[in-house]
A and B are shown apart, each in its own frame.
Chain A
Amino acid sequence: MNEDQIVQLLILTLKGASPLIFAALGELIVEKSGVLNLGVEGIMLMGAVAGFIGAYEYGFVVGILFAVAAGVLMSLLFGILTLSLVSNQVATGLALTIFGIGLSAFIGIPFEGKKLAGEIGMINIPLLADIPLLGPLLFKHDPLLYLSIVLFGLVTWFLYRTRGGLILRAVGESHDAAHALGYSVIKIRYIAVAFGGAMAGLGGAYLSLVLTPGWEQDMTAQRGWIALALVVFATWRPARVLVGAWLFGGLTILNLWAQSQGIGLPQQLLTALPFLATIVVLVLISRDATMIRLNAPASLGKPFHPTS
């Protein structure tokens, strides 16, 4: 492998990490508010199909807006059930995923195998993009990839540097205390859930518009679930989500590279590797029960109703 190839692999790693960054940062905010949404996979698929339809019919900008709208609608469905109707969050999230797989397959039928008119434009940051090696690696990307990094900054700033972030975390730690202080727990959770949906929708759009342009059934390939695992891996901290997503993106790319090089392992083992790696990482993180207890939002997954 020469330098150019290494740079190529690193660029692919960054691209592969982007959908995970979107989805996992969104879910991080949702979980920080005390809600566990297991429907990320289904929302991403809806974002992917809606994004592709929008981009195919009206161009990239509309596609991205469609994906965000689809993500928000899906997550509001989850919100109505779990927040207003106090249904079980685990069961509802699973139902959302199964529903999203089916609905995206349904509305995506006419668009399977279609191709977009062009590729999404790259943003080359002047001067910096011309630096050898570092230029292409850091300053020559599609706009959505930059957006994922900007959103990472915004999420971190919001959570730890603003009053809103403090309230959000308070709701996730103790909804009863937040309620007693006069904050509307349900309203804040609705906003968090909708934000998570928009982010998962963006993650889906990154797949169908940038990473592997086009629409096919189940194209997320379990990335929604990986994103959920990343939040635990990151012990609910945005910076670790970013690192985790890059590690995971790198693992996926290395895996593809290893398969193309034909190393002596069965192909099925290599395909199973990301899932095995996720399990190993979860074991390493979770075995310290105290650390999980200190970092996980204390009200995570617990239903809240003001009168009960």
Chain B
Amino acid sequence: MRIKLEPRVASSQLMRYGGPVMALAATVIVGGILFAALGKNPVTGIYAFFIAPLTTLFGLGDLLAKATPLVICAIGLSIGFRGNVWNIGAEGQLIVGAVCGGSMALAFYPDDSWYVLPLMVLAGMAGGMAWASIPAFLRNRFNVNEILTSLMLTYVAIELWKYMITGPLLDPGGSSFPQSREFPPGLLFGSIFESARTSVLFAVVVIVIGWLFMTRALQGFKVDVVGQAIQAAQYAGFSQRRVVWLSFLVAGGAAGLAGLIEITGPIKQLPLKFTPGYGFVAIIVAFVGRLHPVGMTIAALLMALMFLGGDELQFSLNLPPAIAGMFQGLLLFFVLASEVLIRFRIKVIRPVRSTAGAVPEGGAGE
């Protein structure tokens, strides 16, 4: 069988919205096959991963708590991705944001007056922006590929984090276990129900601002033009350098905010490890959500569910939580694969019996 891709005259609206749904279905099916290949009951596995976390109020609260940093990071990143600026270091920006916000809380310790929490939010965002400005500066000034620098800085940020909580920010009262002292209760966002916190409002605000920026603002339009047609942008006088700066500062600020939100929730201190890779998964959220604020909100909830599902699998089937990453990557593959259907029509030349279409198989290593 030969399959040919034929460009469509206009992009398909059906596939634009139907594609991600088909991708999710394909992820569930391939996930089931992988469970079966490892000798686990696929139905039990899929149920534990996708359904069980949603059956309790605690699970739903956790879903919102985990989706909040994801959607905030993803919307920040998506502006860069629309402008062809590849910041993949949101994880590092998130960590530095948490370091700065946490340091602010500890500097005022034990003061928990009304003004400290806003200062922490500002410090968190400023920290993320400062960390993100390094790759932006290197890209604009020295022409350095921002993919590699932003990623390398993430691993530097992880070491910075370890240094801070074993050194300057180490809990003076506690044992030498590497963590900071706990923040006073006045510096935490209150609970709505279970582990869902009032900080979820930040996510709502970011989604609305993101939507306004992308669809209503002139600067948002300039970003799109720079990303899709650099020559047209140059002709129109839109500055690419400015888009690089804007992308990194917005993404860094958003990631810093996400980091701050994490430590002012149930964690309430700077612990040894506090992020399950939100900054990396936010990249998947951005693409699965097709760089649209509403799509990214749905994608963030889905990825949060996969984190919870990973924990659930560890609990019920004794599998490592890293499996969440496998499903997240798989879903992104299928979404990327489905995008071809928006721009192209699949035409089967000389059809034969096999009906295998554009869906790639999961590449297992055995």
Q: Which residues of A does B touch, CB under 8 Å? A: 38, 42, 46-47, 49-50, 53, 66, 69-70, 73-74, 76-77, 80-81, 84-88, 90-92, 94-107, 109, 217, 222, 225, 228-229, 232, 266, 268-269, 271-272, 275-276, 278-279, 282-283, 286-287, 289, 292, 305, 307-308
Contacts and interface: CB of A to CB of B under 8 A. Distances in A.
Contact of A104 (B5, B280, B365): B365
Interface pairs A-B: 5 shortest CB-CB: A99-B329, A102-B326, A70-B365, A102-B325, A105-B322
B365 A46 contact: yes
A272 B147 contact: no
A292 B156 CA distance: 26
B88 A103 contact: no
A46 B280 CA distance: 19
Interface residues of B, number: 59
Interface in B315-357: 319-320, 322-330, 332-333, 336-337, 339-340, 343-344
A96 B365 CA distance: 13
Contacts of B156: 272, 275-276
A76 B363 contact: yes
B225 to A, nearest CB: 18
A65 to B, nearest CB: 12
Nearest to A46: B365
Contacts, number: 187
B328 A102 contact: yes
Nearest to A221: B155
Nearest to A41: B151
Given A77-B363, A85-B336, A90-B147, A99 B325 contact: yes
Contact of A53 (B148, B330, B366): B366
Given A77-B360, A95-B336, A272-B159, A279 B34 contact: no
Contact of A307 (B6, B88, B151, B364): B6
Contacts of B152: 225, 229, 275-276, 278-279
A226 B67 CA distance: 31
A279 B149 contact: yes
B162 A107 contact: no
Nearest to B157: A272
A95 B332 CA distance: 6
B320 A217 contact: yes
Interface in B288-316: none
Contacts of A84: 5, 358
B38 interface: yes
B284 interface: yes
Given A286-B144, A289-B143, 11 more contacts: A47-B365, A85-B337, A86-B340, A86-B344, A94-B284, A105-B323, A217-B322, A225-B151, A269-B163, A275-B156, A305-B7
B337 A81 contact: yes
A212 B5 CA distance: 46
A73 B365 contact: yes
A245 B310 CA distance: 36
B251 interface: no
Given A102-B323, A107-B366, A92 B153 contact: no
A167 B308 CA distance: 49
B153 A275 contact: yes
Contacts of A53: 365-366
Contacts of A94: 88, 283-284
